[in-house]
Amino acid sequence: MLNHFFHSQIALGIAECVVTALLALAVMLLARRRAPGLLKELPVAELRGVVQIVLVGAVLAFMLRGPQWTSLLVLAGMMLAAANIVRKRAKHIPRAYMQALISICTGAGIVLAIMIFFGVIPLTVAMLVPVGSMVIANTMNTQSLFLDRLRGEVTSHVGEIESALALGASADAALLPYLNTAFRACLIPSIDNIRSLGIVWIPGIMAGMVLSGASPLFAALYQFVVLTMIFSSSALACFVSSHLATSRIFTAQEQLVLR
């Protein structure tokens, strides 16, 4: 329908953005009583998102004409921004920014480095930036889920944790059951994505590769590669974060500070 009114790609793209943004607002307005704070956040998030992605598109267009190593600087900037977003979600956890930054850089950085070493991801702007951004973004989301779930587990079980400490358990031992619960919960979406691949959804990379002329079979295999990279990066980031959590949640004297 929109293509009958807008004949240029830019105008059509803007119109499509407006329609989808209004649809998201309508859904959140309908469900505003379930999460009233999100309704206020959504318009700002949508505006930021569209401005940021347009700027990224312009930067990518410029980078395609420059040296390929600049893609590494872009990914480093994405990791810094991702850690800052996690910090806002985990604002009740002390020093959450450094915890998120170390975890994301370790998880996404190691996985991407291994994939580049083996040639799974070519060291080119056109491939490394889009694929790397997906890995970093999903690692960021998983890290946010992990820290948010961990905070909820700890604040819901303050009595149990302090009782364990009073009986002589170490801070690590007292926190372990709730770390395990948060760790498992945050990885469920990534596992479900792999499990449902090709049955419930056909992700964007596969569709884009097929449309660009790649073999559908190779595109399918590469999509599996990307999703398993995302899972590995997310799991490694949360594993690192779980080892950093105790020093954030307890004092040096093993007193619980997160309530």
| Residue 235 banded pLDDT, cuts 50, 70, 90 | very high
Q: Residue 206's pLDDT is what?
A: 64
Question: Could you tell me the two tokens for 31?
Answer: 């469900």
Q: Residue 207's pLDDT is what?
A: 60
**Average pLDDT along the chain:** 86
Ordered by start, the domain boundaries in the chain are 1-63, 68-249
| Residue 175 banded pLDDT, cuts 50, 70, 90 | very high
Residue 216 pLDDT > 70: yes
Average pLDDT over residues 3-15: 75
CA-to-CA separations, 235 to 41, 82, 125, in angstroms, rounded = 28, 16, 26
All residues at 6 or more sequence positions from 135 whose CB lies less than 8 Å from its CB, including other chains = 108, 111, 112, 226, 229, 230, 233
Q: Residue 125's pLDDT is what?
A: 81
| Residue 217 banded pLDDT, cuts 50, 70, 90 | confident
Residue 244 pLDDT > 90: yes
Q: Residue 208's pLDDT is what?
A: 66
Average pLDDT over residues 110-117: 93
Query: For 76-99, how does the pLDDT look when each residue is reduced to its tens digit (9 = 90+)?
Result: 999 999 999 999 888 888 889 999
- Cα 242 to chain centroid distance, Å, stands at 17
